[in-house]
């Protein structure tokens, strides 16, 4: 079955610093990848997704992610973070072995981002 | 669209009591998912419905947990009897048929505390 690793548990940055959050998945076939964000006390919201085409995906709020197939990675980046980016970030991958042809999303354990003003 | 609606937002109950969590998916979404979020285990998929039929319940932790989807607009997750280790935030999510393209839309969650 597919699995997702997010190696950073908690990242602390100052405003305007650049951000890169790591995400690695295990399945070697066709993958669909997602990043979700959870602001304090709120539900998960989709930031961006990759399913084919250009491996550099742009999402909302200035976030982007790069799919590198050879590294089984889908790292999230933002050139300059703001205090309002303080949240927990979850990487997810569709697992085609669960839930039939649609597959199900398997989530990483999340990375907490704290941005100091 | 009101999004995925979950109720209650918070539930505090005593050990041994029955707890029922409710979810109304987005109209037209034919897939529904229940997830549990804890500090220790992150987000875990509990069960997945497609067209009201349970497809994969391998994530349901034990027989104390059960889920139903009697129609396309309503689902419940029941814990009976509840235990303190069930304390978590339970999220419901729904999706259009092509999950891979659209991802999921999550509800606001139910924070369950079992004392």
pLDDT digits (tens, 9 = 90+) for A27-60: 777 788 999 999 988 889 999 999 888 999 999 9
Mutation site for B-interface testing, chosen from A27, A31, A35, A43 by largest number of B Cβ within 10 Å: A43
Nearest Cα to Cα of residue A64 among A108, A112, A19: A19
If you measure CA to CA, which chain B residue comes closest to A42?
B108
Classify residue B78 as exposed, middle or buried by CB count within 10 Å of its CB (0-12, 13-18, 19+). Answer: middle
Q: In sequence order, which residues have a C-beta less than 8 Å from that of residue A44 and are 6 or more positions away?
A: A36, A37, A38, A90, B43, B91, B93, B104, B106
Q: What is the pLDDT of residues A101-115, one digit of tens each?
A: 556 788 899 999 999
Q: Are B47 and B23 in contact (CB under 8 A)?
A: no
Q: How far is B22 from chain A (nearest CA, A)?
A: 16
Nearest Cα to Cα of residue B37 among B53, B52, B18, B59: B59
Chain B partners within 8 Å of A74 (Cβ): none
If you measure CA to CA, which chain B residue comes closest to A104?
B99
- How far apart (Å, rounded) are the C-alpha atoms in residues A78 and A83? 13
Higher-pLDDT residue of A64 and B97 is: A64
CA atoms B35, B88, A75, A2: torsion sign: negative
């Amino acid at each position: 079955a597919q699995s997702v690793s997010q190696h950073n548990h908690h990242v602390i940055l100052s405003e305007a610093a650049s951000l890169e959050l790591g995400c690695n998945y295990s399945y070697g076939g066709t993958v669909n990848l997602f990043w979700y964000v959870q602001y304090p006390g709120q539900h998960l919201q989709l930031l961006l997704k990759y399913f084919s085409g250009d491996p550099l995906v742009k999402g909302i709020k200035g976030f982007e992610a790069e799919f590198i197939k050879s590294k089984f990675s889908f790292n999230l980046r933002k050139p300059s973070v703001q205090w309002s980016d303080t949240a927990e970030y979850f990487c997810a991958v569709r697992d085609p072995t669960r839930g039939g042809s649609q597959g199900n999303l398997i989530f990483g354990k999340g990375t907490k981002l704290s941005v100091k003003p | 669209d009101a999004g995925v609606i979950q109720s209650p937002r918070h539930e505090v109950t005593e050990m041994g009591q029955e707890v029922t969590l409710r979810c109304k998916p987005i109209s037209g979404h034919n897939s529904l998912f229940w997830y549990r979020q804890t500090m220790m285990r992150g987000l875990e998929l509990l069960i997945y419905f497609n067209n009201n039929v349970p497809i994969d319940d391998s994530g349901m932790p034990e027989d104390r947990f059960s889920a139903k989807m009697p129609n396309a607009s309503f689902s419940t997750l029941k814990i009976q009897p509840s235990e303190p280790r069930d304390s978590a935030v339970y999220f419901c999510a729904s999706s259009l048929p092509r999950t891979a393209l659209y991802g999921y839309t999550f509800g606001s969650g139910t924070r369950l505390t079992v004392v």
